[in-house]
Chains A and B, each alone.
Chain A
Amino acid sequence: MSDIAPAIELVGISKAFGPVQANKDISIRVMPGTIHGIIGENGAGKSTLMSILYGFYKADAGEVFISGQKTEIPDSQAAIAAGIGMVFQHFKLVKNFSVLENVVLGAEDGALLRPSLAKARKQLKSLATEYELNVDPDAIIEDIGVGMQQRVEILKALYRQADILILDEPTGVLTPAEADQLFRILGRLKEEGKTIILITHKLREIMDITDTVSVMRRGEMMATVKTSDTNPADLAERMVGRKVLLRVDKVPAQPKDVVLDVRDLNITDDKGVHRLKGVSFQVRAGEILGIAGVSGNGQSELLEVLGGYEKATGEILLNGDPIDLTGAYSDGQSRRARGIAHVPEDRQHEGLIMDFTAWENTAFGYHHDPKYQRNGLLMDNAAILKDAQEKMGRFDVRPPNPLLAAKNFSGGNQQKIVVAREIERDPDLLLVGQPTRGVDIGAIEFIHQQIVALRDQGKAILLVSVELEEIMGLSDRIAVMFDGQIMGERLPDQTNEKELGLLMAGMKDGEAA
């Protein structure tokens, strides 16, 4: 044992929410000046553990030691006082404030703002040189990119004299290049003696920058190992509890006729911002076209137009016939009638009604289907229930209880309900947005297999994902979107993450090659 006290030591932490045991007797030690990764599937209890450390939740049992001192953390104020800083997945910034104002917010010295701001400005300058964290202090948050915004969050923590920095899924919104930059900063922070806890579900990040890694599964700490002593397959197996296929198993595509032909699609929103700028592409029967890109570059709008709930100008042909983009048939019902099925990006706000039961959700969007009607007037609830039961069986939804409300299923099982509903319509074109966001590894494998199986039946599939790994593994062709445009198309076996990353960052096709 070394004689230095760990920066953080958690002993026997337990926390339950109702019947769910989110954390079970968790103990962990993080040594100062290291980067410690915590990896686990959604719902494994990572965020709960960190929320306890940051004073958002009170643990039912267990103790926290900071630098060897037993510490009570009843609220986030106490956590900050103890030198803990947190960078949330969803930034907590005031969008119309400047960087400086955001850094000072909540840490003002007195009733007057001016002296605090002046002090903060000086501090920011020294932090910037010390950690290579350059940000213009007078820039307004909404004008700077997500990577910059994340730096502001880190600066906020450092300004509050954090020695321990917790980052929750920090790369979810970043391009690969931005992520690399972040990792450089984290490395620099480590050199300066800061302790970093990185929560993620991406194996690659763990392997790249952490010194030690803890694996969590279903509220329990499965193992803490030196990163150099492990490998991705081993970690994945510990996360899921069984061997997992990290690569998607599929035969080469057999593309046939063009099913979807998008020509010069444009969207200008209410504020006059160009969301889509002349987007054109084709998807053939029997192939998966993957659209890569950092979130917020027009992919969502593209799916919404195709799904029938966003207006656009331009032309879309389905099986050679034009689709109504603005008129009476530019709604989701008409799209479904034309054979377009849609697994939306946001299953909690679009794909499902969380308060509805699983069986009610099975008919969602297809509630006009004749097989769900009893006569002209009434719906055949019994038929929907039966259909739901069968679908849940085929797609291995757990628990297989169609009477349960959607919100009571895990993310992966919710997604299976949506995927089952859309795939089993036997569509000509399947739109899939972020099919595995917030889905556990076991379900990811299953959902990917279903998508590939649909492709092999000769259907056209448009896949939008911000997970580059998913795009690379699943697509037969890849198009990269940036700022509402398609920057270029690549074949997955003739490109790499670096090249795609450059296109995602807005590099022109020729420049990136």
Chain B
Amino acid sequence: MDAMPKWADVVLVPVVSLLLAAIISAIVFVAVGQNPWDALKLMAYGAVGTSDFLGYTLFYATNFIFTGLAVAVAFHASLFNIGGEGQVLLGGLGAAIVCLYVPLPHWSLALIAGATAAAIFGALWVVIPAYLQARRGSHIVITTIMFNFMASGLLIFFLSGPMKPIGEMQVATAVFPAATHLPSLHDVAQMFGSEMFGRSPVNISIFLALIACVGVWALIWHTRLGYEIRSFGKSESAAKYAGISAVNITMVALLISGGLAGLMAVNNTMGINSPQLVDNAAGGAGFIGIAVALMGRNHPVGIVIAALLFGALYQGGAELSAATSIPVQIVVVIQALVIMFTGALDEMVRAPIEKLFLRSQRAGE
């Protein structure tokens, strides 16, 4: 009857999932003629071995916090927003427009204006899928994934046409004015006389991400709106009885979700060393956000931890393929294994563990 203890749900299940992913990864390494233990050490070094590497890990983690939160908010309303990729790209477009065409004297103003624009653009990109879901019952998974393709096409149109600087070859906007470039954590460290984080792009958006975590936590568990979102997500029929409008909640939850995904673009445009919007600004973070939210059990604290893990995996994997003859594709396979085990196969690990716990509980009676 009773569920397994909370620590098993929150800690044990993800750890077992990771172990399984590690075991299969080890087999993959052996198959390509590499020593898995050496590879693991190299990956760990690549993720946190130097303060530069750590900076990259944190930079990626920042991305994943935003997209993880985006997925989680929608998930609390039982809606599966897999359009993070597209919403990030549109968020990037919003940030780029503000940074390039609005004269902003200082990075603090640029942060406010850029973040607002990114969130609004990200949210706007989900308006049509949200409306179709709320009013017409078109499934949000189908529509948001289609909107990913449209966002990608739209962005390429802007970056190879209207927003492309004359004479540039790259599919990207011009570099943003220096005043809109967000301080990196290296800059912050320097104020205290440290050279921490070196050339890594990790920047003050990480604080924005943490503020967003607190915001989402407060929204979901401490506001009426969050209460209504969770009610609707847990039981649509009960929400109807309570007078909670399905249409409103669907719209609002998805708009917030889209806005959070859009916010990620601040990190990936205004925060990078050469601040600009490039065509693959999302870089798969929208999808990794799904795994992050699942692994983090849709709770901001869990999401931060999962985002750090995925950030480390991303960065460590990149170092691994740079430092060895292991092809980059193998690194992608490893990342995919982790996503698969912690995300898609979560239930496969959870069910047997739950059974084991129940059996031992009964034996203890």
Contacts and interface: CB of A to CB of B under 8 A. Distances in A.
A222 interface: no
Interface string A352-386: 11111000100111011000010001110100000
B241 interface: yes
B2 A332 contact: no
Interface stretch (A147-155, A333-341, A484-492): A333-341
Nearest to A364: B242
A379 B221 CA distance: 9
Interface string B232-244: 0011011011111
8 contacts: A19-B1, A19-B365, A335-B243, A365-B242, A367-B224, A367-B228, A377-B223, A408-B2
A19 B1 CA distance: 7
A352 B234 CA distance: 10
Contacts of B241: 307, 309, 332, 342, 344, 350-351, 365
B34 interface: no
B227 interface: yes
A183 B243 CA distance: 43
Contact of B238 (A333, A353, A363): A353
A467 B252 CA distance: 42
A246 interface: no
Nearest to A331: B243
B362 interface: yes
Interface of A: 16-20, 307-309, 331-336, 342, 344, 346, 349-356, 360, 363-365, 367-368, 373, 377-379, 381, 408
Q: Max chain B CB contacts within 10 Å: which of A17, A20, A346, A378?
A: A378
Given A334-B243, A351-B238, A353-B238, A379 B1 contact: no
Interface string B1-17: 11000000000000000
Contacts of A353: 231, 234-235, 238
A350 B241 CA distance: 6
Given A351-B238, A352-B238, 14 more contacts: A18-B1, A18-B358, A19-B1, A331-B243, A332-B240, A349-B237, A350-B237, A353-B231, A355-B235, A360-B227, A373-B224, A377-B223, A378-B223, A379-B223
B134 to A, nearest CB: 15
B76 to A, nearest CB: 11
Contact of A355 (B221, B234, B240): B234
B361 A18 contact: yes
Contacts of B356: none
B222 interface: yes
Interface in B184-237: 218, 221-224, 227-228, 230-231, 234-235, 237
B240 A309 contact: yes
Given A18-B2, A19-B1, A364-B231, A350 B362 contact: no
B245 A356 contact: no
A350 B238 contact: yes
Contacts of A331: 243, 245
A332 B238 contact: no
For chain B, which range describes its interface: under 10, 10 to 19, 20 to 34, or 35 or more residues? Answer: 20 to 34
Given A17-B1, A377-B223, A349 B362 contact: no
Contacts of A334: 243
A132 B150 CA distance: 66
A336 B222 contact: no
A6 B274 CA distance: 87
A379 B229 CA distance: 14
The 5 closest A-B pairs by CB, nearest first: A332-B243, A333-B243, A365-B242, A350-B241, A18-B1
A340 to B, nearest CB: 11
Given A18-B2, A349-B237, A381-B222, A308 B243 contact: yes
Contacts of A355: 234-235
Contacts of B1: 17-20, 408
A19 B218 CA distance: 35
Given A352-B238, A379-B224, A19 B243 contact: no
A344 B365 CA distance: 37
Contacts of A16: 362, 365
Contacts of A20: 1
A350 B1 CA distance: 22
Q: Max chain B CB contacts within 10 Å: which of A353, A360, A363, A365?
A: A353
A404 to B, nearest CB: 10
Contacts of B224: 367-368, 373, 379
A431 to B, nearest CB: 11
Q: Max chain A CB contacts within 10 Å: which of B230, B231, B238, B361?
A: B238
B78 to A, nearest CB: 11
A306 to B, nearest CB: 12
A360 B243 CA distance: 16
Contacts of A346: 237
A482 to B, nearest CB: 25
Contacts of B243: 308-309, 331-336, 365
Q: Max chain A CB contacts within 10 Å: which of B222, B231, B365?
A: B231
A350 B244 CA distance: 12
Contacts of A408: 1-2
A408 B231 CA distance: 18
A186 B362 CA distance: 40
Contacts of A373: 224
Contacts of A381: 221-222
Contacts of A351: 238, 241
Contacts of B230: 356
Nearest to A346: B237
Nearest to B365: A19
A513 B223 CA distance: 57
Contacts of B361: 18-19
A18 B4 CA distance: 10
Nearest to A16: B362
B231 to A, nearest CB: 6
A332 B361 CA distance: 42
A355 B235 CA distance: 9
B242 A332 contact: yes
Nearest to A381: B222
A391 to B, nearest CB: 17
A19 B222 contact: no
Nearest to B227: A367
B29 to A, nearest CB: 41
A403 B227 CA distance: 16
A17 B234 CA distance: 25
A352 B238 CA distance: 7
A336 B240 CA distance: 13
A305 B235 CA distance: 20
Q: Max chain A CB contacts within 10 Å: which of B2, B221, B223, B240?
A: B240
B199 to A, nearest CB: 41
Contacts of A365: 241-243
Q: Max chain A CB contacts within 10 Å: which of B224, B237, B241, B361?
A: B241
Contacts of B218: 378
Contacts of B235: 349, 353-355
Contacts of A379: 222-224, 227
A377 B235 CA distance: 24
Contacts of A18: 1-2, 358, 361-362
